[in-house]
Amino acid sequence: MEAVVVDVGTKLLKAGFAVPDQPPSMIIPTKMKPVSEDEYVTDASLLENVTVDPVVRGFISDWDAMEDLLGHVLYTALGWEIGNEGQILFTDPLATPKAVREQLVQMLFEKFNISGFYASEQAVLSLYAVGRISGCTVDIGHGKTDIASVIEGAVQHISSRRFEIGGLDLTNLLAEELRKSNPLVNFSISDVEKLKEQYACCAEDEVAYEKVQLACPKEEHTLPDGQVIKIGRERYTVGEALFQPSILGLEAHGIVEQLVRCISTVSAENHRQLLENTVLCGGSASMNGFEDRFQKEASLSSSAIRPCLVKAPEYMPDDLGKYSAWIGGAILAKVVFPQNQHVTKADYDETGPSVVHRKCF
């Protein structure tokens, strides 16, 4: 039986058997709505009033809910049989606390009786997905943005940064802007989330952004409840916030300058190798115009060596950036489990949860 790869995000959980050139077989909301004491719903259409949120800003926060969610994924969706559980590879967000890694491996061996476990950091896996072992990743998730540098398959934590800004904050920003221009409309967050996915985009540069703020054609959109709204310059504000965080009320550099500043902390001899192998990932990175704006900002950056984006191989699935960590995990699973580099049940029984730090780098 193929190993299962699981990538748990703040908004979406990606899971499936390790088939590297295919997208994950299931992509479901991480949030769940209880329908009874021990039963949960993960259907996105039923999650307007979510009461259970297993992951906050990238890290597992509700372990009982995560256990229920994984039970649904592994036994119901992927068809594992109780007593015949297989191997599993998890993706680790940047700077995952040791206690979280230990609690995860403990839950999987003791509650799910898995036969083998491995975990690797998302930045490393996203680079594997595009055929690199060294480079940078800019991962704009729902609850956080991670900028990481990787040399020879190892994250350089001294030059990596986590920012608690993500797609959720951009959704809230869009909601604020839309309420200003449509004061009589009652927006739900799920409505705004869909509007963001459909309309949000990046201006070509800061000058172009200033122009659309002064004059931008408005488009009518009918919400599911029949309310009609107008959306215009708001669509550009969402993307611009990543390049001008002051829009979100933050005193911080834009995302390209943040990347350059992170890399400046590593040895100068590695700058070219890192910056010229930059990978964008996460749902917000797929925003219309974001890649072009990123490249333009890179050409204007303060660095002598400019960030350069790596294109995904043609044989990889479309929208690779949305689940590149999962794809990289599927690639890695094909190596670590056959070569017995993973944590086995015997390893866990002998050493306990701390074994994860010795065997999963």
- Do 161 and 286 lie in one domain? The reply is yes
- Average predicted confidence (pLDDT) for the chain: 92
- Give me the number of domains the chain comprises: 3
Determine the Cα–Cα distance for residues 322 and 334; give it in Å rounded to an integer: 21
Q: Residue 227: helix, strand or coil by DSSP?
A: coil
Specify if 142 maps to a domain.
Answer: yes
- pLDDT above 50 (res 271): yes
User: How confident is the model over 194-201, as a mean pLDDT?
Assistant: 96
In this prediction, residue 181 has a pLDDT band, given cuts at 50, 70 and 90, of: very high
Q: Is residue 55 part of a domain?
A: yes
Q: How far is the C-alpha of 33 from the C-alpha of 47, rounded, in Å? A: 6
Residue 209 is part of which domain span?
A: 167-245
**Same domain for 268 and 345:** no
- Residues 157 and 155: their CA atoms lie apart, in Å, by 6
* CA nearest neighbour of 224 among 243, 198, 249: 198
Asked if residue 243 lies in contact with residue 256, where contact means CB atoms within 8 angstroms, the answer is yes
The pair of three-digit structure tokens given for residue 330, joined into one six-digit string: 């599927």
* pLDDT given at position 199: 96
HSE-CB of 11 using CA atoms within 13 angstroms: 18
100 with 229, same domain? Answer: no
Check whether residue 45 and residue 172 sit in a common domain: no
Q: What is the pLDDT of residue 270?
A: 93
Let me know whether 280 and 151 are in one domain.
Answer: yes
Q: Is 304 within the bounds of a domain?
A: no
Determine which of 49-53, 58-62, 208-212 has the lowest per-residue pLDDT on average: 49-53
- Is the pLDDT at 47 greater than 60? The verdict is no
309 found inside a domain: no
Whether residue 197 is found in the same domain as residue 146: no
Same domain, 238 and 267: no
Q: Which helix (H) or strand (E) holds 89?
A: strand 87-92
Provide the CATH number for the domain around residue 111. 3.30.420.40
